[in-house]
Structures are given as C-alpha cells and as structure tokens.
Structure 1
Amino acid sequence: MMHTIPLSTLSTTTQYSLVGLLIGLLLITVIVLIKPMPKNAKYAAMGIMLAVFSMFTLTLYQSFHSQLQWDQTVVDFKVPLYSQTLPTSDIDLQGAFIADLSVEQGLQPKWRNNGVGLPGYSLGWFTLNNDQKALLSVTESKQVIVLPTHQDYVIMVSVDQPRQMLAELHQQQ
C-alpha cells in the first residue's frame, strides 16, 4: 500500500517572491530584446533567460504538488527539481524525528550547495552546521521532519501535520 503525505505549500510571501523574480526575469528579457547587440549574443542571452525562467516557473508550479510517498519497497521524495526515489531500506524510517531548526543549531542549513533559497523556502542540497549533507524542502523551520538515510545525507521536509506524518513513518517498520 502506497502512503502519501503532501509537503507544506509555499507561504504567500514566498509565492510573491517567486512571482517577483519571474517578473524581473521578464523585464531583463525585454531589455535584452531592445538593446542593440550582435545576434549571436542576443540568441545566447535569450536562451539563458528562457532556461532560467522555465526553471523558476517549474519550481513554482511543482511546489504545489510536492509530496513524500512510500511503501514497503521505495520512498519517493517528489519536489521541484530535486526529486529522489530511494529503496525503503536506504531510509531509517524509525530514526525519523521532528526538529525545530531555530533551536537545533547543528541541523540549520549553513551552505546551499545546489538549490533555491528564497524567503520562506529552502529547496535542494545544503550543508548543515554539523557538516552533514541534506536534501531540503523546507518552508517552515519550526517543525521539520528529518529523515536519516543510510547514505551520506538526511532528507528534511516541512509538512502541515508533522506529528501525524512521523507516526505514519514509524508504523512502517
């Protein structure tokens, strides 16, 4: 039986930040179109702008459909740009816990290695203060589910009902 828990959606502030970023990218695109420059440079700039615009649009859209799914064989972490599917044996479901990142200094993200960092949204690969690698989809730092893996990183997610999700995870083994 497949279990599914939706991840927390973006706050209004974060949504406005992403929309503002997209509008800024559109304005830069208009400037590139208007500015006299060699055709090859203009095409290259437009290609880059299209790729960046598409990436942020995809992030905004997929953030409303982020979820964690698992059954006896796989854990499927579905988030924008950084989805992972792992065998259930690679996740320590019994070791999952709820953390308050404002209190637990070691679990706070220190460096974003590859990802998106917006006000109220940390997505992607980070190095934590305790020097551990982490795959994050965090919208609220007060109650974050931490899923240890048997690989060299942890998965950290924000959900609307963390205690219920933790109970479901602990029932799996």
Structure 2
Amino acid sequence: MHTITLSAIDTSALYSLIGLLVGLVVIAGIILMKPMPNTAKYAAMGILLAVFSIFSVALYQSYTSQLIWDDKTVSLNIPLYAQTLDAADIDWQGAYIADLTTQTELKPAWRTNGLGLPGYSLGWFTLQDKRKALLSIVGATQGSQWVIIIPTYKNYLMMISVEQPERALALLHSKITH
C-alpha cells in the first residue's frame, strides 16, 4: 500500500471557510431571534445546521486528504468528493507535474460541483481545455502552482496538490514497475 498526503489548505482558504462558518452562526442567531412560525424556524435551522456540518467536515478533512493505492484499488480521500477506482483505471505512466500558472489550459474554468474558495479548489471542474477533472488544489505559492495530474481511463483527470510533487510523482511512477 502506498500513500501520498495532499497539501492542506492555505491561510486564505482557511479564513474563508472560518468566515463562512461564522456567517452561518450569525444567520442562525438572526433566525432564532426573528418572529416567525416555529415550523419555518425549525426548517431554516435544519438547513443551516446541514450546511454548517458540510463545511465543517470539509475543513476538517482538508487536513487529512490522501491518495492511497495498492495493486487493486486507488482511493482519493478528499473532503466530500472521495473516489475509489480500480488500479487499472489509472494511467500511471501518464501522470505528470504541471504548473498551472504557465500551463493555463489545465486551469479550472467552471466548477460543476465543488467548492471554490480563494486558495482552494475542491470537487468537479471543467478545465480551460474542456476536459473534466476532480481537483484538490491549494493556492499558488511563490508565483507558481505545481500540481500532479493523474489521468484516468474514465475520461477525467485527478489533479492534486502535494508538498513534494517530484517525490510523489516518483512514487506514482514506481507503480509502473510493479
């Protein structure tokens, strides 16, 4: 079994998520104080609690994201969008490192289902070159944004941010010899 730990969210994404959670608490306070029928109040609080829970889970899991694989399966454990594939569905040899600041065709163009915060892209996106991708990407550092691109035979890419992309890519490519 091999494991690559993904980069945790950066401070701008952390502050955005915390601000969002605080905003939800403020809205909950307003709903509780506003005169309205109890049914409407309970429904609104239920929806807020669900949204608060989803963003709290995303925040927590963003610090424990991993890519794990063995000879049979590959699991991308990311908040809300975890995927498990057969190892045969991954183009191991096609994996490579890209800098999204220079390879602009790989930049996310449209978020189809996911979370897009300053410094953090998570979920399903359509790229500039119209391909579909599952992303867990943290913000640019020192003018570049290095990510590992992992093609699949399921017509989408997995794009992940890791602390040491060269080392992670070498570990991915070691799968080819096994």
Secondary structure at the residue paired with 2:109? strand
Cα distance in 2 for partners of 1:162, 1:74 equals 21
Q: Which amino acid aligns with 1:170?
A: H
Q: Establish whether residue 145 from structure 1 lines up as the match of residue 148 from structure 2.
A: yes
Cα distance in 1 for partners of 2:169, 2:121 equals 21
Please name the residue that 2:160 is paired with.
Answer: 157
Q: Establish whether residue 65 from structure 1 lines up as the match of residue 64 from structure 2.
A: yes
TM-score normalized with structure 2 length: 0.94
* TM superposition shift of 1:140: 3.5
Please name the residue that 2:36 is paired with.
Answer: 37
Equivalent pairs: percent with the same residue? 58
Cα distance in 2 for partners of 1:36, 1:12 equals 38
Cα distance in 2 for partners of 1:146, 1:165 equals 11
Structure 1 unpaired stretches of 5+: none
Moved over 2 A (4+): none
Please name the residue that 2:47 is paired with.
Answer: 48
Cα distance in 2 for partners of 1:105, 1:74 equals 31
* TM superposition shift of 1:162: 0.3
Please name the residue that 1:9 is paired with.
Answer: 8
Q: Which amino acid aligns with 1:162?
A: P
Secondary structure at the residue paired with 2:63? helix
Structure 2 unpaired stretches of 5+: none
Secondary structure at the residue paired with 1:72? coil
* TM superposition shift of 1:93: 1.0
Q: Deviations over 1:93-112 (max 9, x none)?
A: 11001111111121110000
Please name the residue that 1:110 is paired with.
Answer: 109
Cα distance in 2 for partners of 1:75, 1:93 equals 11
Cα distance in 2 for partners of 1:12, 1:127 equals 25
> Over aligned residue pairs, what C-alpha RMSD do you find?
0.8
TM-score normalized with structure 1 length: 0.97
Secondary structure at the residue paired with 1:65? coil
Cα distance in 1 for partners of 2:36, 2:139 equals 44
Greater mean deviation of Cα atoms: 155-164 or 32-41: 32-41
Figure out how many residues of one structure are paired with residues of the other and give that number: 172
Cα distance in 1 for partners of 2:156, 2:12 equals 29
Cα distance in 1 for partners of 2:139, 2:152 equals 22
Q: Is the 8 A contact 2:118 2:139 kept in 1?
A: no
Q: Deviations over 1:52-72 (max 9, x none)?
A: 000000000001100001111
Q: Which amino acid aligns with 2:98?
A: A
